């Protein structure tokens, strides 16, 4: 099995944020016997994300992306996923309920923009994120697997431990 990691974020490319996600994922994947063969950091731009997905999906059995799943205008990873894999973004009421519950538990109003976090690409499985409001995403075509994870390290690590590790062990 070969694998690739795509780190998405202008803040990484500008040197404002250290890419600890790559270090964590590469270490964890190697521990599973699924060493990372390719890693790339790219900017938050639809055409760049789509081209990188095209490159990686055609060459690697496992592709993991981090970043761009939040609610703001520069979080366009899901749009790029739909552009590449096809389908639509489907609103999932149960995810929206989890997001609103998380805000209410903190005594905060839910910004309307956070509804974006309840949008899931057609054919993808949403991976519950108990550490944040952006669920991870999982897709498989039977032989290859794609995972999209939040860029926040705490959330990304939580999803890897709670969901990806088991899926990877089961499949590979």
Confidence of residue 5 (pLDDT cuts 50, 70, 90): very high
Instruction: Find, among 11, 79, 81, the residue nearest to 43 by Cα.
Output: 11
Instruction: Read off the pLDDT of each residue in 160-167 and give the average, rounded to a whole number.
Output: 96
In sequence order, what are the residues at sequence separation of 6 or more whose Cβ sits closer than 8 angstroms to the Cβ of residue 113? 71, 72
**pLDDT of amino acid 73:** 84
In sequence order, what are the residues at sequence separation of 6 or more whose Cβ sits closer than 8 angstroms to the Cβ of residue 154? 131, 132
Is pTM beyond 0.85 here? Answer: yes
Whether 119 has a pLDDT exceeding 90, the answer reads yes
Pairing outcome for strands 3-8 and 89-91: unpaired
d(CA 65, CA 136): 10
**pLDDT of amino acid 74:** 85
Instruction: Read off the pLDDT of each residue in 35-53 and give the average, rounded to a whole number.
Output: 97
**pLDDT of amino acid 44:** 95
- Separation in Å, CA 103 to CA 110, 131, 132: 6, 12, 10
Which pair of structure tokens corresponds to residue 26?
A: 């590469």
Whether 92 and 118 have beta carbons less than 8 Å apart is answered as yes
């Amino acid at each position: 099995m070969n694998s690739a990691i795509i780190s998405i974020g202008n803040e990484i490319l500008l040197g404002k944020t250290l890419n600890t996600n790559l270090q964590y994922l590469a270490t964890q994947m190697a521990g599973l016997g699924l060493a990372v063969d390719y890693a790339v950091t790219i900017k938050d731009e639809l055409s760049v994300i789509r081209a990188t997905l095209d490159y990686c999906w055609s060459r690697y059995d496992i592709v993991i992306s981090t970043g761009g799943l939040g609610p703001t205008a520069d979080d366009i990873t899901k749009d790029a996923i739909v552009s590449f894999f096809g389908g639509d973004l489907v609103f999932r009421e149960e995810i929206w309920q989890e997001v609103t519950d998380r805000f209410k538990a903190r005594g905060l109003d839910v910004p309307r923009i956070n509804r974006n976090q309840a949008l899931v690409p057609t054919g993808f499985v949403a991976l519950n994120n108990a550490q944040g409001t952006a669920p991870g995403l999982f897709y498989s075509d039977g032989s290859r697997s794609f995972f999209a994870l939040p860029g926040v390290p705490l959330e990304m690590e939580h999803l890897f431990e709670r969901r990806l590790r088991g899926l990877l062990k089961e499949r590979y």
